[in-house]
Structure 1
């Protein structure tokens, strides 16, 4: 049943005053919208249920001659603007109540007409106390540290973000992770767009993240970065809207008024179904975007952001180092390994290691190892591999190497360690500690690994981390090795930890190795245009207690 309500119509006229009686300006006629009418449809309304089905939903449809936009203002202070006059509102106060809504039709030049509409609505749903206790008064945030905290799937799908789900912290620096969402007891919803800049005082400025074109609804003009269909770091201040809980179809749903949103702006009806609230201090929400294209999924937590503890080494006394300050490799510290070993050092590598200055030299305070496309002893590439075997070997400590890596498909540089018993004792029984391995065919990551009986070759213990400018900038690669734990780091940030004990080979002396391999099991295909590339090592340092 639909009701046409035409009460309280007020037409606002413009009054123009002339500052100079001698001037005559013809600005044309600017008229306020006329014939404002509002049609209301209380969802579920019938003869048996004149106040609706208890959901509290009412659809308003405003029309007026000469109107450009329409604004609805509700008794709780919330408002929403729509270009076509159609808006569905969710009333949430339990019981049958009469609500007065102010509808404003805007015309050219800011002219406006308005009317008040009374609508009687039944709300039978009351949010359960445990949900309100969980939700209200806490600072919620996107749970960036878990995979799948943001993603998308089909509209109406029940399997979570089936089309795409982000990995942990994947959307850092886009304007989402520093946002906070507060559902206040008085029914207001506060969106803090940058919680970090509030630490030293209330600063309302921040940025948000949203869907291309739909974010235009926010009314922000900026030269923001666009990645695919995502608009990053849109300047947006803290704001307040209103929130309520309903349960259409039995599904608990958070309703936000106006342009209120969570996580990623998608337009639509600003309703977020609570898909799962079983987790401690956690909510899984989904909402359909304004294009009706996808369901978007969000995992929220009210836990505070865990500050990562800065890694502290147990080893701070330097016991051995090479700063490569001379004009040649110090053979008191290093050995040359020559040849291609057995089947390319067991990995099908394509290079022949030499001690030629073209492949290994010291200049400008750096060790320079060069891999080249040149024929040698039946192989198409030359390179170098140096070791400290029988010259420096140690058990437990911290190794720190500052290096810049070679570029090119097929390059495979490594900074690593072998058990001192090799080759007299077999591999992997002696153990292998790969501090850093880099693959030119995958230039955005470095890896670290441990090889030991039961975990060797393709079954090694491996960890990796993202890297930028590996081939143009120096980075620090480290391993912290104790009897109980082995930790691998890049630029001071750990990326792999291994629980060590007496059952592993990592309880005895090891020596150091530096090399560039070509191709092989990890290096992969060698680029046809590869000619040569270098690894530069600024220093190698070893610390113990």
Structure 2
């Protein structure tokens, strides 16, 4: 009886399992393998002299099939790519004339697939030591063998450079069309992706003892996925970019190859990186691992890659070397004697050959609904500092008096480092500012002239300091702005600094960078001089509600120095 019971149980279990499988198949849908799969390959840039290509190593592939959903290309140089269109251009990077096997897998419904393999022979002579040095931190002597691995240096002396997303830069992640350089459809604002895992990513490039580039990705076990690839991390596609637990640790190899670029020569290096074994740079966009290097310096990397999910889209990433800022400039000197221009406020009165008083309340509170009336009586120079006093007192029909002074027409400059050492007011409703306007203000108006707010602070948000840029298309509430917290902002002096070059604008407090901006043609920050403004406003759009108990508060300035 026991054996009969066991047999009956097994029969029932088998029937249940069979029924369960049939149910699963019905739910899964029809399984259809792609048919009529073909693969064509064309070596690019061939000639009678160079039948296998001119050395760029580029080959164009076209796959087609019936009932296909995606094509997965597998190249025997260790790279792969999954696409929907079937068309791809791949750079082969092994120097010399080599024959490669390329396999394409056509995937249909239910996981069914078909595959075919093709041989291709291509000549590669590409070499870009500048990009190799920029990525890894090596120098030319290292590559030539006069130092580094070729001179017998031990492995722990191999140079390694670590990169991270340049989160403070506008456009550190951006999106545009694949077949043209414009328009840019989306551009991330500084620190827009803060709070996720994107900015925690670290990517290192090293040169091994054979002179090859080694890639390692440290993302602390979390990956920032494009919305079209959330299923790879365990989510549902199409619900927005998201971080998932997805470890990408481990070493991979990097090859440099000629980029099949749409950019003019002055807008790209003409080099692309190919990362083996599905490696990617900080933002998961599938396994299409070609990254065109648009710009590279010792501490700045600007790259572009085509979306694996949508070949019509191109994504851009800006990275900076870990521990560095791509914008920090070094203007000589950090003392009064070395400044190109300075105001030390050593006398007993304000130097009106340099400083102009602006009087009144302007148009609608200087355009901001401010509550003060500016006078020429609210400044004081004593004990080596300038004080701008905001006072609760009836003044020309307003309840508060203060001062606003400028260097317009007396001192204007373009490019350099301006540093102001100051203590700020703390009362609710105060709005002190150290800022600049373009010298074309009288002729072009605002925001066409440009505005650089070196420091803004409001007493209602004690300790938060802002650095902001206003220009056409990015002004008022749409200005490019970033803040940082400063301790003892009202009781201790701090150095508020702005460094300005043709390429970049950087904001610092006490020598620490907190906001960085890529200057560019078309902004007012590249074509004319600016003048300086110091003021303390009351209330208004940024100052907010004024403390009913307010009586008086002061912005105290130790010095203003410009280095060039």
Query: TM-score normalised to the size of structure 1?
Result: 0.49
Greater helix content: 2
- Compare CA radii of gyration and give the structure with the larger one: 1
